[in-house]
Each structure stands twice: as structure tokens, then as C-alpha cells.
Amino acid sequence: MPSQHLVEQHRLQAALRGPAVALRYKRHGLYHDLTWADYRDLALACAAALIAVDIQPGDRVGVFSENRLEWLLADMGILTAGAVNVTPHAPLAARQVQYELADSGVRWLFVSNAEQRDKIAQVADHLPDLRGVVVFDRAAATSEYPCWEAFLAQGRHHLPAVRAELTRREAQLTADSLATIMYTSGTTGHPKGVMLTHGNLLSNVQAVLAVSPRRPGDVVLSWLPYSHIYARTVDHYSSLLSVAVTYLAESPEVLVQNLAEVQPTHMNSVPRFYEKVHALAAHADPAVTAKRLQAIFGPRIEFLSSGGAPLPLAVAEAYRDAGLLVLQGYGLTETSPVISFNTKEHCKLESVGRPIPGVEVRIAEDGEVLTRGPHVMKGYWKKPLETSQALREGWFHTGDLGRLDADGYLYITGRKKDLLVLSNGKKVVPSYLEGLLVADPCIDQAVIYGEGRNFLTALLVPNWDHVRATLGTNCPAGPAPVLAQHPVIYELLAERVDNALADVGSWEQVRKFVVLPEPFSQANEEMTVTMKLRRAVVFARHAEELEQLYHENGTST
């Protein structure tokens, strides 16, 4: 019989594969193994310690940390105790974390290091439900914030006395039991707490592995943040049903180095990563580009997965031409997340694949993608109105526009809210045009603007290395802020923009643009943790420059 919840699946996997390696993680320059038996024992110790501090079934417990081994152990410990994991993104500021922890009523919290500990200390007076904080890093522990090792030691001490209680709590869990509250980072406004059940998450893993199974000898390199649903499901929880070994990357900054060390067979990522690696490897000779990409990803890669944002077709084609298959999928936090996925056997690069088993998809009259099935969330935490708006007659309204072809492949054509309408009534899908622009090696990032205007403008971030290489001796000297103002740079990019948009309609042409010296970033709150653009933030930040484009040379809307 299939497992009903994640705790049961973790226990069964540990019993079945005991001494086999579950995870490999790097500490002090060396990779270390964690067996399934030890994984289970550490999760039990964590759960016992939570029971000892009076965490009850259904209580919310938070993990505020970058990816690391302890994140996974704490998550399984929280679930084993029958509690609900709340997972703020590590880059969040203190006030942002305060909102999520207070809104969800978190009673206990795990943090990674001194930086995250200090964020919590700043807002602790505004968290009346929070009763304890544990720090993963021993050096960052204090008398008020004890360390992870001490917390586990307490759990081991109490474990004999609470084993019967742990068994009872596991028996009470069902597929409908709440497992996590994940706050959507959101492109505007306050985030909403998405309630996902054990059944949501487990059914999604089972369906993904049914169409893309793992085999003995497979190696997964995991680097996307576990605080986001994508990695949480397809890396973390997938391991509970898989024979693959999961390696934990050290950080995004050394991911290319970790690729060389691990030489994985599979890796899940976001389009921004594939774009940056392609730009790093790009050469005038496609054969050289192909060799460079192959060298970066290693000889064992079977395929790469992409999700979290649209993958520009030109980028997917460049990888395919290099002998590397990047398979695009589609989903949202509210859908656990996978709705559809391309596979090696059934793939159309420009699509996001076919719906996975058990997942229904249909297209509404206005073009919105709707989905129904066991993957759809329980609702938004303490937001019944928003829940009723998103879930209607059993169908979740994604907010994305799309179409299904005759073979059942899903194509995402844009966001309902991002759809631009020009002053002449013409409609524009900005993400499509942005994908065409960033396919040019001289353009690193692009944002289309023009709602209610009579023509389109854009914000462009150049790939400065490629700009300098393209211009050669004609490239002006100076740092990026100086170059961004230089007419030679503008002329080059104007030519590139015209070429990239040569095949689109006249109303979809970008007539003017602003050159920005630095990329959009999470640190500036311009992008979400999955590298989706926060358009409202970006437009507000550059409102004056954009407005000026519509008034230059006497031109205005």
C-alpha cells in the first residue's frame, strides 16, 4: 500500500534502505555521508525534543535557514512530531520574517547562524507566540538561543519516554494533515501562507517519479532553496521515494565547482541559472560553446530540469544543440508544485510538458490555466476570501495564461496580471518579448514596460563581458555605471534589440530603453527567491527614467 503521509514514507524508506547513503553534504572541504538509518534517528531525536518542549500536533514550527543538512533534519523532525513547518526564505529582512512568523503563530524556531539569529532578536518582542529558538551553528548559540547539538541531545534523552507518543502522533496523521505553510514571495503586496498537506506533497512526488523515475546509481545535485516549494518537493521529498543519492550543494556561489566535484546525473534549477551559465560558455563558434557547457555539467548528466519561471526557448535550444536536454516543467506553490513536466521520452521544448498523472488541466474561456487534483493546496492560511477566489468548484485558478495542443502539451503564454494593453488596445505578453531579448548574449536581463502607453519601452541590463568582447577596441573604457550612459553602448544594444524582435508585430517593438549598470537582485527586493521579477518594485524604482522615455523629442502618450 502507498504511504499516506511523509512521516510514514520516511520511516519506511529508512527501514528499507538503512545503511544506504541518503544524503551527501560538504563540511570543511570534504563530503560526508548520512545513511537512511541515521537520517531517521536524527529526525526522531529532533521530534522528541520538540515534544519535550510541549510542541503539540498542529503547532507551527519554523525553519529560517539557508540550505544545509540541518534544514532537512529539522523538517523531518517537525513533521514526525506532528507539527507544521513554516519556512521563511533566508534572504528576508527582519520585518518580513516577523510578518510570516506572527501571521502563522510559530511557537518554536530553528535558525541557521548569527545573522538569522540577530534578525529574530530584532523582532522577538513582536512574536508573542514564539517560545524558543535553536541555532544550527554552535558558534552562534547563546544562553537564550541554544545550539542544535544540545537540542538533539535533549531529544535523545527524552526519546525512550516519548516513543509511544511519537507512534500515536504518526498514527493520527493522514493525507489531509497539514504539513507546511509556505508564504508565496509574491510579486506585489503581502505574501499569503499556502497550506499544503502531506497528501498534496506526497502525491506530487509520486506522480513526478511515475513519469520520470530514478534508477540505482542516479545522483541528484540539490541547490535550490528548500524554503521554496520547487526544491522542497522535487529534491527533498522525492528522495523519500527514490534510490538516488542527493548531494547538497554548498551555495549558489560555488555551484559550478560543486557540479565538477559531484558530476550529477540530474539537477533541478531555474532559468536564470541556465541563462547565466550559457552566457559564461558562449562563443562565436557553437562547437566551442557546446564543449564548454558539456564540461560544466559533466559527462553523467541525463537531463536538467527547469521550473519556477519561463525558460526562454532560445536558451533551451542552445543547450539541446550542445547535447544537453533542459526539460521544462510548470507549477506553483499552491500546486505542490508540479502541474506538468516534459520527459526525455515525451518532450516539446517550447512547452511545459504534459500534465503529470492524477492532475487535470483545462483552459478557461479567457485563456487562464485551471488545474484540479490531489496536488492543489488546502487553502491560504487565515484568508478564506482569497481561498474562495482562487479555488472555485474544485478548480485552482493559476493566474497564468496558456493553451493545450492536440497532443496534450501545455504552453504558458503569460500572466493575466502581467498582460500589457497599449493605448491602441493592442495586447502584449511581456515575458515572451523578454525571452527573445535575453537570448541575445549581450543582454543579461530585460523588462518590458508600456501599460496604457502608445509604444513599448524597456529596462535592459547588459552582459558587460559580451558587450566588451563584441565592441573590442571600440568599447569605451570605464566601469559599468559609466558605460551604461555611453552612446556607443546604446547603439549596440539598439541594434541587438531590433534583431531580437525582428519577427514580432509592430506594436511589440521596443522603441526606447534605459541601460542599467547592475542586474536586478533579491537583495534589492527586485526579484523573488526563484528569480521572478517583482515588476511593481522595478517600475517604481525606475519610474522617472521610464517616464522620461515617453517625453523625449516631444513624444508622449
For the chain, residues classed under CATH 3.40.50.980 are 6-13+27-173
Q: What pLDDT, on a 0 to 100 scale, did the predictor assign at position 189?
A: 56
Q: What pLDDT, on a 0 to 100 scale, did the predictor assign at position 389?
A: 94
Q: What is the pLDDT of residues 299-335, one digit of tens each?
A: 999 999 999 888 888 889 999 999 999 999 999 999 9
Domain 420-554's class?
Answer: alpha beta
Instruction: State yes or no: pLDDT of 90 exceeds 60.
Output: yes
> Which of helix, strand or coil describes residue 300?
coil
Q: Is 36 exposed, middle or buried (0-12, 13-18, 19+ CB in 10 A)?
A: buried
- Mean pLDDT check: name the lowest of 27-41, 263-277, 416-430, 529-543: 416-430
Give residue for cell 531529544. 155
For the chain, residues classed under CATH 3.40.50.12780 are 201-373+391-415
Instruction: State yes or no: pLDDT of 157 exceeds 90.
Output: yes
CATH architecture for the domain at 201-373+391-415: 3-Layer(aba) Sandwich (3.40)
Q: Please, what is the average pLDDT of the chain?
A: 94
Q: What pLDDT, on a 0 to 100 scale, did the predictor assign at position 1?
A: 61
Q: What is the pLDDT of residues 402-443, one digit of tens each?
A: 999 999 999 998 888 788 888 877 778 898 899 999 999 999
Annotate 133-164 with b (16+ C-beta within 10 A) or e (fewer).
Answer: bbbbbeebbeeebbbbeebbebbeebbeebee
For the chain, residues classed under CATH 3.30.300.30 are 420-554
* Reported pTM: 0.84
Q: What is the pLDDT of residues 253-286, one digit of tens each?
A: 999 999 999 999 999 999 889 989 998 998 989 9
CATH of 6-13+27-173, one of 3.30.450.20, 3.40.50.980, 3.30.420.40, 3.30.930.10: 3.40.50.980
Residue 483, C-beta contacts closer than 8 angstroms, at least 6 positions apart: 462, 464, 467, 475, 476, 489, 517
